[in-house]
Amino acid sequence: MFRAENGFGLTLVPDLGNTSVGKWRSKMILTCGRSYRAAAIVVRRDGDRGMSERVLELAEVRFDYGGLPVLNGVSLDVAAGEFVSLIGPSGSGKSTILRLFAGTEQPAAGRVRVQGAPPRPGGVGYMPQKDCLMPWRTVLDNAALALEVQGVPRAAARARAAGHLADFGLAEFARAYPHELSGGMRQRAAFARTVLGGHDTLLLDEPFGALDALTRAEMQVWLLDLWQRLKKAVLFITHDVEEAVLLSDRVYVLTGRPVTRAAELPIDLPRPRRYGTVLSPRFLGYRQELLALLAPAMPAAAGGGDR
Amino acid sequence: MRRYLPPTVLLAGLIALWEAACRLGHVPPFILPAPSTIVATTWRLRNYLFVVHLPATLKEVAIAFAISLVVGVGLAVLMHLWAPAEHALYPLVVASQTIPLIAIAPVFLLWFGFGLGVQVAAAVLWSFFTVTVNSFDGLRAADPDLKELLRAMGAGRWRILRLAEAPAALPLFFSGLKVTAAFAVSGATIGEWLGGERGLGYFGRRMSATLNAPAVFAAALVLALLGIACFMAVAWAERAAMPWQRRRTAAAGGLATPPPPSAPQ
């Protein structure tokens, strides 16, 4: 995938250790077997066309559940470094779309691509709806899980995770067990586990759904900040209109059963955004537009009023 | 310590009642010896009980426990990973518990002779069931969402077993193993009754043949203590193996965690 060859048999491989900046270091492996780092080599990914590179792509996808179509002819895409939200009522197939990209579900028809290739497990960072922290592992060991699954030896995975816990505000909780943490902390630990997997694309399934309003607002700002630093592509599921507008570059609205089309709404608000952004008139404009797009899914609200 | 108080008080009360009944009711000691008589007899026979017969029983229990552990966990993992094995084996595992040990013991004697074999075979047959069934149920108790996350991370079947299912199985596994430890003692005792040359069960049988009830009770007392000791050894291993549970207990103000689902009987 990220392979370039020259006359020396130069192979470029991703260094998963360099997750905080999300760049690719190159390791030069000569055909004679000796290897050393050549950090000065500038790597361009295959098909890199700046921001237009599509890291996630769904084209005319159909997915059936229990014999009934959930998605039928749905297309959407996410570009490198972009923050895209999926919003829609329960059962509209949002989580299914993430699982299609994660490679744990297969479409009945259509095309699913992750960085130009068919999805495979382990190809993207996936954060499910529940935090799924292992109760028998400390925060540090939970954060190191994705690295371990990738085959990094336990001690090395822990050492690498330990160096990054501070980025997630978890440095003092490295040895705590999940049940000793607050809801917001648990989410941060789940984020740490996802981000430390080292992928450039993150699938986040409603990470703030179970949090109280104050923690949620705090975590939204925290995530914005994290995303700004990591420059990773994010596909984010939410039920919350404000959350979608506040965080996203673009929002896809899924309505109907089956969902036949993902309506797209670009959010052109300046970045960096802060929580105060929710008070700006343009924010309110986007919010109303989004509610209008969601109206088919909300028969009770169709008569008027903005909720 | 506080939670040990009610059972201790109850036990002390029952023993006092027993003692009083024996002394006031003039029950002959060969029918029902008083607790004080049993303790005195135990002390008098300490050489036979603790030096000759306890080590023999302990050895059988240890071997049977090890076999039950390996066979039980092995069967549980096999049934968990491979559905045909579950369909074929699970009914047989359950059926093994309906076999009356006493009825099959003569066959064991033919197969294994009078050595260690009968006692170990009886103890294994008596004790492997709970650890098998509990381990199997424990492996299935792992959070399906966690397993899906691991699959999405690219983990294969074995890694999911090692990272998610095995740790999730520990609470049920250990509650089964505690019962297995105690049952291994009673199983070995039955084996010794049926045909042995040593051990506390054998000693008890020999004493009962001479109507020496205090000595029979003395052997039973030592066996009961052995069963409790085995149970507590596994309970200690359980706490050592699951530090997160211990921390949870501490966080709850020193109260005991809700008991894990008990072993199926």
Q: With respect to residue B99, please indicate whether it lies within any of the assigned structural domains.
A: yes
Residue B129 lies in a domain: yes
CATH of A54-124+199-296, one of 3.40.50.1010, 2.40.160.10, 1.10.3470.10, 3.40.50.300: 3.40.50.300
B145 touches chain A (CB under 8 A): yes
Mean pLDDT value of segment A190-202: 90
pLDDT of residue B160: 95
| Distance, CA of A242 to CA of A1 (rounded, Å) | 37
The model's confidence at residue A6, banded by pLDDT at 50, 70 and 90, is very low
Q: What tens digit of pLDDT does each residue of A60-85 get?
A: 889 888 888 888 888 899 998 899 99
Chain A residues in contact with B239 by the CB 8 A cut-off are none
Cis peptide before A272 (omega within 30 of 0): yes
Between CA B98 and CA B31 the distance in angstroms is 32
Nearest to B190 by CA among B263, B109, B131: B109
Torsion of CA B1, B6, B7, B10, to 10 degrees: 140
Q: Which of B146, B154, B159 sits opposite A132 (nearest CB)?
A: B146
pLDDT at B135 over 70: yes
Look at residue A275 in the predicted model and tell me its pLDDT.
Answer: 76
Burial of B253 (0-12, 13-18, 19+ CB in 10 A): exposed
Q: Is residue B155 within 8 angstroms of chain A, CB to CB?
A: yes
Least trusted range by pLDDT, from A102-106, A155-159, A261-265, B90-94: A261-265
State the pLDDT confidence band at B28, using cuts at 50, 70 and 90: confident
- Residue B175 pLDDT exceeds 80: yes
The number of distinct structural domains making up chain B is: 1
- For range A217-224, the mean pLDDT: 88
- Give the domain extent around B76: 31-240
Distance (Å) from the C-alpha of residue B249 to the closest C-alpha of chain A? Answer: 11
Whole-number pLDDT of residue B1: 67
The residue type of B181 is A
Residues comprising chain A, all counted:
307
pLDDT over 70 for what percent of chain B? 92
pLDDT beyond 60 at A105: yes
Option in B145, B149, B242 nearest A136 (CB): B242
pLDDT at residue number A45:
39
Residue A237, strand partner residues: A86, A205
Which pLDDT score, from 0 to 100, does residue B134 have? Answer: 95
Q: What percent of chain A lies above the pLDDT cut of 90? A: 27
For residues B254 and B91, the model is more confident at B91
Higher per-residue confidence, B115 vs A198: A198
Helix (H, G, I), strand (E, B) or coil at A126: strand
Whether the pLDDT of residue A13 is over 50: the answer is no
Chain B: give the shortest CA distance to residue A125, in Å. 7
pLDDT at residue A15 in the model = 43
When pLDDT is averaged across residues B83-91 and rounded to a whole number, the result is 93
pTM of this structure = 0.78
- Say if B167 is an interface residue toward chain A (CB within 8 Å): yes
Higher pLDDT, A279 or A192: A192
Please indicate, yes or no, if residue B9 is contained in any of the structural domains.
no
pLDDT at position B179, please?
93
In a domain, B2, yes or no: no
- Res A39: pLDDT: 36
Q: What pLDDT was estimated at residue A211?
A: 86
pLDDT of A40 > 50? The answer is: no
Task: Tell me the two tokens of residue B181.
Answer: 């430890």
What is the distance in angstroms between the CA of the first residue and the CA of the last residue of chain A?
A: 46
Give the pLDDT confidence of A136-193 residue by residue, as tens digits: 999 999 999 999 999 899 999 999 999 989 888 898 999 999 999 988 899 999 999 9
B257 touches chain A (CB under 8 A): no
Asked whether this complex has an ipTM greater than 0.90, the answer is no
Residue, of B29 and A22, whose pLDDT is higher: B29
Q: What is the mean pLDDT of chain B?
A: 87
pLDDT above 80 for B74: yes
| B262 to chain A, closest Cα gap in Å | 21
| pLDDT at position B25 | 81
For A222-229, what is the mean pLDDT? 88
Determine the residue of chain B that is closest to A147 in CA distance: B153
pLDDT of residue A7: 37
Residue B247, burial from CB neighbour count under 10 angstroms (0-12, 13-18, 19+): middle
CA distance linking residue B29 with residue B33, whole number of Å: 4
Judging contacts by C-beta atoms under 8 Å, the chain A residues touching residue B153 are 121-122, 126, 145-146, 149-150, 197
The first and second tokens of residue B103, run together, are: 């009825």
Q: Give residue A33's pLDDT.
A: 35
- Beta pairing, strands A83-87 & A233-238: parallel
**Closest chain A CA to residue B247:** A177
How close does chain B come to A152, measured CA to CA in Å? 13
pLDDT band at residue A276 under the 50/70/90 scheme: confident
- Say if B133 falls within a structural domain: yes
Whether residue B178 is predicted with pLDDT greater than 90 in this model: the reply is yes
Per-residue pLDDT band for B250 (boundaries 50, 70, 90) equals low
| pLDDT at residue B260 in the model | 41
Domain boundaries, chain A: 1-46, 54-124+199-296, 131-198
| Count of CB pairs separated by less than 8 Å, A with B | 65
Identify the CATH number of the domain in which residue B210 sits.
1.10.3720.10
| pLDDT of res. A305 | 42
User: If you count DSSP H runs as helices and E runs as strands, how many of each does chain A have, helices first?
Assistant: 8, 11
Percent over 90 (pLDDT), chain B: 63
On whether residue B202 sits in a domain, the answer given is yes
Min Cα distance A120 → chain B (Å) is 8
Other C-beta atoms closer than 10 Å to the C-beta of B176 total 33
Alpha helices in B82-116 (DSSP H): 83-96, 101-112
Mean pLDDT of chain A: 79
Chain B contact set for A130 (CB, 8 A): 143, 145
